[in-house]
Structure 1
Amino acid sequence: MAITNLPTLRQLRHLVALADHGHFGRAAEASHVTQSTLSASIKELEQVLGAQLVDRTKRRVTVTPLGQSVVTKATRLLQEAEDLVETARANQGPLSGPLQLGVIPTIGPFLLPRALPALRRRYPGLKLYLTEDLTERLLEQLNAGKLDVALIALPYDTPGFEHASIGEDAFAVALPESHKLAKLEKIDPERIDEEPLLLLRDGHCLREHALAACRLSGRGQTDTFQATSLYTLVQMVENGLGVTLLPKIALDAGILKGTHVVTRPIAGKSQARDLALVWRKGSARRADFELMAGLLHQALTGGKGK
C-alpha cells in the first residue's frame, strides 16, 4: 500500500491562523513563529496537497475557495487533536495541565479574585490562562478550539455547547445618595423607567440581561452616554447623569467604595442573571469543568452548597 504524504498539525494550524488574521505578519505573531517560518509552512502544505490555498500579492493575502474548505476541515481536525490530548490529560488527575478560560468583563474582575486563590491551592498542577472578551467573541473562540471553557452569563444562545450553572447574580438599582428614589426601601421597575438609565454599550450582554431581569422597557435609557465598564457606569451615576443597574458580584467586590452612590433592591421577582461555565459538547474535560463550576459557585455564594 502506498504511503500518503499527510499535512502536519503545525501546517494546518498556520493555515487557520492566516485565514483568521488575513495577514502573514499578524498570523505569525499569533502563532509565535517568524513570518518566514509561517510562509514556508503554508508553501509546504500547498505542496503536500498539490493545490494553491492562498493568493499572495504585495498588498493583501486571500485564502482561495479551496483554501477556505481546507481551513474548515483543518479547524475540525485541530479540535479533535486537542480533544485527544485532553483525554490523555484527564487521566493525570483533575484540573491539571494548561486550561484556556474565557471570561466576560462584567464577571471576571469581580468573581475570579475570590475564586482563583482556592483553585490554585487545591489544584497546583493547573496552569490557567485567562482571556477577557465579550460573550459573542468568547463563544467564537471556544467553537474554534482557541478556548477550553468560558465563564459567561445566561440566557444566551449557545448551540453546540454544554454548560454548568454557577448561580444567580441579582441586580440592584444604583443611584446618587441624594436622589429622591434613594429614600425608598425598594424601587418599582416603573419608577426606574422614568429615570435616565445608563447602560453598557451594545455588545455587552449585561445590558439585555439587566433590562429583562428587572422587567424594564428601557425607554429611559440614554444613548448619549454609554460606558464600556461597570466602573465607568458608577462614575457617571455619581456625576448625576442618571441611574444604572449593577450586579451583586460587583457590589460585593466593593465597586462603590469611596463613592456617594448607593443601591436599592428592585421590587418584585426575576431580578438576576445566571452565571455559567460553557464548553464544547463532547469535551473530554467535562468532569474538570463541572468541578470548576462547583468551586466558582462556592466563591459566588461564600461557601454555601448548591
Structure 2
Amino acid sequence: MLPLPSAQQLRYLIALSELRHFGRAAAACAVTQSTLSAGIMALERQLDAQLLDRTVGKKVVFTPLGHEIAQKGRQALEALEAVPQLAAAARTPLTGPMRIGIIPTIGPFLIEPLVKIIRARFPQIVLSLTEDTTEHLLEKLSLGRLDMLVLAMPCLCDGTETLPLWRDPFQVIMPDNHPLGKLAHVPVERLEDQQMVMMEDGHCLREQTLAVCRQGRSWDSSDGEGDSTFTATSLHTMVDMVELGLGIGVVPSLAIENGLLENHNVKARPLSGGPVWRTIGLAWRPRSPRSADFQTLAKAFDTLAPTAQATRVADSSL
C-alpha cells in the first residue's frame, strides 16, 4: 500500500496553496515557517513528486501536479474532518466548540447580543469569536480555522454556502450644519461631488459604499474613487472625521441604532434612490456536517435585526 499523506501535511499544502506565502501559511497553521517548509518537503519526498517550482526565486509557484494534489488534498481533508463532526452532530446537535468569525463593521454592534442569545438558547455550545476583515475570515474558513462567518453581503464569498438574514439600510452621516441635513432622505445622486470619508481598503463596507455612490454618477474604471481622500480604520474613526468636517460618510443603520453617533455633533439621514442597503448573513463551508446547526442559529440570529428599518430576507436573494 502506498504511504498516505498525513492530515497535517495536507493542511500545510492547502494553506500554502491558498495564501501563496510561506510566512502567512505558517501563521495560519500555527507553526513556524521552517516547520511548514520541512513538512512540504517531506511530503514531496514521500510522494516522489515536485509540488513547488523552486526555480522562480522567492515566489510561491505550484507545479501543475502540485496544484492538482493541493485540490485533491483539500477534498480529502474536508472528508476526513467531517467524520468526527458528523458523529458529534448526530449525537447531540448544537454542542461543543463553535468558532465564529465576524467583520469589524458588524462585530461591535452584534457581538454582545449574539453571545447572549447563544448562551441563553444553546448553553452547550463552546463559543469562540474572531473579528477580522471579510477576506481574512474567508481564508480562515477555507483552512478550517473557523466554522461559520457573520458577513455583510454582497461579498466575494465564492466557495461558501451563504444564508442571508436581513437587510441593513445605509444612511448618510454629516456634520450638524451640513446642507444635506435639511433633507428627510438623501438621494444617491446628491452624493456626487461630495467629499467622502470611507473605510480603508480591505473592508467590504468600502466597496459597498463605492457601489452606492456609483448609482448616482457615471463612473468607469478610469474614475478611480472619486473625491475620497480620507479613510478610516473603523466606523468610530469615520464618525470623528465627519464631525471634524472632513467629509460625509455612508454607514449602516445597525451601527447608528446601536449608538455610533452618541456624543457627536453628527446627524444621519436615510439614503434613497436605489439599492441602498447591505445584507447581513451567514457563511460556512459547503457540505459542512454542521449545516443543520447553522440553520438553527440563523433563526435565532434573525431576532437581532434592527427593529426600525431592517427588512428580513425571506429567500436566498440579496
TM-score (norm 1): 0.82
Alignment partner, residue 288 of structure 1: 293
Cα distance, 1:138 vs structure 2: 3.0
Cα distance, 1:119 vs structure 2: 0.8
2:8 to 7, 10, 15: 10
CA RMSD after TM alignment: 3.3
How far apart, CA to CA, are the structure 1 residues paired with 2:242 and 2:175? Answer: 6
Cα distance, 1:64 vs structure 2: 5.4
> Secondary structure at 1:91's aligned position in 2?
helix
> Secondary structure at 1:264's aligned position in 2?
strand
Query: 2:43 corresponds to which letter in structure 1?
Result: L
Cα distance, 1:206 vs structure 2: 1.9
Q: How does 1:226-241 map to 2 (within 5 A)?
A: 226-241=231-246
How far apart, CA to CA, are the structure 1 residues paired with 2:20 and 2:153? Answer: 30
How far apart, CA to CA, are the structure 2 residues paired with 1:82 and 1:298? Answer: 32
Structure 2, unpaired ranges of 5+: 220-224, 313-318
Note if contact 1:162-1:280 (Cα within 8 Å) is conserved in structure 2. yes
Alignment partner, residue 216 of structure 1: 216
Render the CA deviation track for 1:186-220: whole Å, top value 9, x for unaligned.
Answer: 33333333532222234432234345457433879
User: Percent sequence identity over matched residues?
Assistant: 42
> Secondary structure at 2:227's aligned position in 1?
coil
How far apart, CA to CA, are the structure 2 residues paired with 1:269 and 1:42? Answer: 50
**Greater CA deviation, 13-22 or 269-278?**
13-22
Cα distance, 1:139 vs structure 2: 3.1
Cα distance, 1:49 vs structure 2: 1.8
Note if contact 1:151-1:276 (Cα within 8 Å) is conserved in structure 2. yes
Query: 2:242 corresponds to which letter in structure 1?
Result: V
Alignment partner, residue 266 of structure 2: 261
Alignment partner, residue 83 of structure 1: 82
How far apart, CA to CA, are the structure 2 residues paired with 1:89 and 1:305? Answer: 35
Q: How does 1:1-306 map to 2 (within 5 A)?
A: 3-19=1-17, 20=19, 22-23=21-22, 27-33=25-31, 38=36, 41-53=39-51, 65=63, 66-212=65-211, 215-217=215-217, 221-268=226-273, 270-301=275-306
Note if contact 1:193-1:218 (Cα within 8 Å) is conserved in structure 2. no
- Size of the aligned set, in residue pairs, is 302
Cα distance, 1:45 vs structure 2: 2.9
Query: 1:10 corresponds to which letter in structure 2?
Result: Q
